Every structure is written in C-alpha cells, then in structure tokens.
Amino acid sequence: MSNTTAPAPARTLTAMPVPARVIERIVLAALEEDNPRGDLTGNALIPAHTTATAAVVAREPGICAGLDTFIAAMRLSDPALELVPALADGDTFAAGDTLVTVTGPARGLLAGERVGLNLLQRLSGIATATAAYVAAAQGTGARIVDTRKTTPGLRVLERYAVRCGGGHNHRDNLSEAVMAKDNHLALLGTGSELTNALRKARASLGHTVHFEVEIDSLDQLDAVLAAGVDTIMLDNFSLADLATGVRRIAGAALVEASGNVRLETVAAIAATGVDVISSGALTHSVRALDLGLDIRMEAN
C-alpha cells in the first residue's frame, strides 16, 4: 500500500455501531489491565496542573474504525479531556491526516494513550484490509464476510470494523446458527446416512434458524444438497471445483467459499460465482495501521 494514496472509500455501514455500554465495558477492562494502580511515569514526571493538546495523526492511508473506543479510553482516563473527531468511522484518510484531537489534563491523556491507540489502530487495520478485499471482489456479487477467528473479548469491535470496511459478518457465535463443519460431518456418516442426519437436525430447529454445512470435497455435495440446507460452504476447493460446485448447486442453496482466501486470490474466487467469501485473515492476522499521537503542552 502506498504511503501517499488513500484506498477507495468504504461502503455505507451495513449494521448499527457497537452500543456505548459495550464499548465502555471493553475499554474499562483494557484500562484496568494497563493502569491498575495509576500511571507511575506520568505522575512522577508531569505536574498535575499541566494541560496539553494531542492529535491522532495517520502515518499511512486507511479507513477509520474505532473512534468511539479511542474517545472512551480518553474520557475514562480523565473526564475533563475534550475530544473533537475530524472524521467518522468508515471514512478514508491519507497519510498526515488528523483523525481526532484531544485537549485537557496531560496526565489523563498520557494514561489513556496506549489503550486508545491500540484499539483504534487494530480496528482501522481491519477496516482497511476488508475494504481491499471488497474492492477486489467488486462487480461479482460475492459478499465478503468475516469468521469467528477473532481476538477473545474483542469480537464485537472487530466485526464492527469489518462493517466499516464494507464487509459483512458471519454468525456471531455458536448460539446464532447451525453450522456443520468437517468435524461434525466426520461423526455423521456419508451418503444417505449423512442426508438423514442433516434432515433430522433441520426438523428439530425453529423456522428462523439458518442451517449451513461445510464440505471439503465434491463427493459430499449430493448428500448435503438432498438435505435441503440453506448454505453450503465449499472449503479449500480449487477454482475449477468452486465453479463446478456453483453449477451443481444451481441456486438450491447459497454457496460460500472458504479457505485459501487472501487478497491475491479473492478476485478469482469471486469470479467463480459464489455468493459469499469468508476469510479469517480479516481479523486473525491483520496488521494494525500506523497511527501516532502527536502531543504538545498548552501555555498556562
């Protein structure tokens, strides 16, 4: 990615932002971890009356996500801090742009700096990476979605960041939908035995519950199709086999591609005609964006 050219604008957010009470709970836990008994350095070096102004400045281009987490980290560190965002989540920025400014007690500003930046950098990194995947699949109709490979405790924020980048979310948790994966199928048999097991499971579910089945071979497809599930995930299929799977399913279920999904492969995967492309890389191995906090002391 160039250090001077911003990525294409993100799409309009596809779901509501994270509730303030949820953000506060997560940020409070992070502040407790980072500052359990006071900031020894700030309290030793900075007089209590010192005030400062700081700006979060981008060192590289990207898409913003997580401004509310940064604001919460600052305000929970010191309610006297005043914050003025320069843009909104989902907005693009270039290297050198200011995302948000902070003014007020210097000790509080310094105490909240690391937690606030950690969250803003990671979430903006996820949004930026997602936007690149979405752009690569543009025009194909394939939807880019995340997975449950998220940071424990941060899933709600990381999935929000995916939405900021124009992506969509898979099931949020194990209680939300039925998703039979390879280890489930290994216990259910093959052929008609598998079909019957899936039909029995379907009959036990409420009518609003989505039912998805993952397969890793075209040999499993007929048995799963016969069960009448909602989505069939083709996991680690070759491009040729993905296209074959799309033709054979022929609209009887949504087709999801997963496995080996990287930025350099996503366009070719999307071109096979799949409906959904899921990638754990959007959250489990994304690089945090380089954002810095530039601070100066206010005249007293």
Same-domain pairing of 124 and 157: no
Total domains in the chain come to 2
The Cα 35–Cα 30 span in angstroms is 8
Point out the residues that are catalytic.
114, 149, 181, 214, 235
Same-domain pairing of 228 and 290: no
Same-domain pairing of 226 and 249: yes
Cβ density class 142-180: b for 16+ within 10 Å, e for less: bbbbbbbbbeeebbebbbbbbbbbbbbbbeeeeeebbbb
Same-domain pairing of 66 and 142: no
User: Is 93 part of any domain?
Assistant: yes
Same-domain pairing of 95 and 232: no
Same-domain pairing of 213 and 101: no
Same-domain pairing of 150 and 99: no
Same-domain pairing of 243 and 205: yes
Same-domain pairing of 114 and 210: no
Same-domain pairing of 36 and 151: no
User: Is 97 part of any domain?
Assistant: yes
CATH number at residue 25: 3.90.1170.20
pLDDT tens string, the chain, 300 residues long: the values are 333 333 444 444 444 789 999 999 999 999 999 999 999 999 999 999 999 999 999 999 999 999 999 999 999 999 999 999 999 999 999 999 999 999 999 999 999 999 999 999 999 999 999 999 999 999 999 999 999 999 999 999 999 999 999 999 999 999 999 999 999 999 998 999 999 999 999 999 999 999 999 999 999 999 999 999 999 999 999 999 999 999 999 999 999 999 989 999 999 999 999 999 999 999 999 999 999 999 987 765
Helix (H) or strand (E) holding 18: none
User: Is 218 part of any domain?
Assistant: yes
For 41, the domain range is 20-128+286-297
Q: List CB contacts of 257: < 8 A, sequence separation 6 or more.
A: 142, 233, 234, 237, 242, 269, 272, 274, 276, 277, 278
Same-domain pairing of 110 and 162: no
User: Is 8 part of any domain?
Assistant: no
pTM above the 0.85 mark? yes
